[in-house]
Amino acid sequence: MKVITLMEDTACAPGFACEHGLSFYIEANGKKLLFDMGQTGLFLRNAQALGVPLDEVDTAFVSHGHYDHGGGLAAFLEVNRRASVYLHKRAFEPHFSQKPDGIKPIGLDTTLAENSRLVLSDGVTQVDQNLTLFSDITGQDCCPGGNRTLFEQENGQYVPDRFAHEQSLIVREGDKIALFTGCAHRGVVNICARAKEIIGRDPDFVIGGMHLFSPGTGKSEPDENIRAVASRLAKTSSRYYTCHCTGQHAFAVLRETIGERIAFLAAGSVTEIG
């Protein structure tokens, strides 16, 4: 399985663009997949530089209804005329973030909601024999404190975002299984636990953000909270590749416990797993 990081908050070399956002190109089982599309169409530039054929992507996924993961959706639909795009059925609902100058919208472009190539998912969705989406997280262990700055609307009022619109992707290839998260707003510990219930064991690889850094506040989770996450992840058999909303400080703290089993991905990086 090949994973190319098309967009992330940092770049692995000066020639690659970066922005606050996430996008992974995945090759597995002879298929080409796209998981998230960054904040803008900037991920297209990195794809071109890396020779990634986005026009040949078979299936695409948006992990949740925030602009830094689905802001490039329109750009992708323009360059790719074939792929179905899976989003949670609540992804286009309004979502908000507390900024220094007030609460601001951070949702997706709702003018795209009626596009015929979009597939709305919920709960556990079996895309094919090797691809499983799931959003039915019930665990409450080690949920990110940064979620406190994120909101949805209910009866015209701002209420804490429940992240019902967040989904994760399981990719099977041969005897290996990879779990892709977007920001893990529901808590990476809980998402990994639910994935284990679905597949019957720990995934071999967990790839994506862990939301241990809040761009709204510019602060990482307290070190004791990060260590609590690390201690739980260390008890699994998975290897972790993280990025984006995990943050560099949290990554360093995680690495103190997990060691070489965790690595950081930046825009432009090419990773062979399996």
Convert the pLDDT of each residue in 188-232 to its tens digit: 999 999 999 999 999 999 999 999 998 878 889 999 999 999 999
Res 217: pLDDT: 81
Determine the topology of domain 2-272 in CATH: Metallo-beta-lactamase; Chain A (3.60.15)
Res 11: pLDDT: 97
Instruction: Tell me the Cα Rg of the chain.
Output: 17
Res 215: pLDDT: 82
Res 218: pLDDT: 85
**pLDDT bucket at 105, cuts 50 / 70 / 90:** very high
**pLDDT bucket at 274, cuts 50 / 70 / 90:** confident
> What DSSP assignment string belongs to the chain?
-EEEEEE-SSBSSTTS---S--EEEEEETTEEEEE---SSTTHHHHHHHHT--GGG--EEE--SS-HHHHTTHHHHHHH-SS-EEEEETTTTS-EEEEETTEEEE----GGGTT-TTEEEE-SEEEEETTEEEE------TT--GGGGGEEEEETTEEEE---TT--EEEEEETTEEEEE-SS-TT-HHHHHHHHHHHHSS--SEEEE----EETTTTEEPPHHHHHHHHHHHHTSS-EEEE-GGG-HHHHHHHHHHHGGGEEE--BT-EEE--
**pLDDT bucket at 151, cuts 50 / 70 / 90:** very high
The chain-wide mean pLDDT, for the chain, equals: 97
Res 152: pLDDT: 97
pLDDT of 120 strictly over 90: yes
Res 216: pLDDT: 75
**Rounded distance between C-alpha atoms, residue 225 and residue 201, angstroms:** 25
**pLDDT bucket at 92, cuts 50 / 70 / 90:** very high
The answer, as to whether pTM is greater than 0.85, is yes
From residue 190, how far is each of 42, 71, 146, 187, 196 by CA, in Å? Answer: 31, 26, 16, 5, 10
- Mean pLDDT along residues 25-32: 98
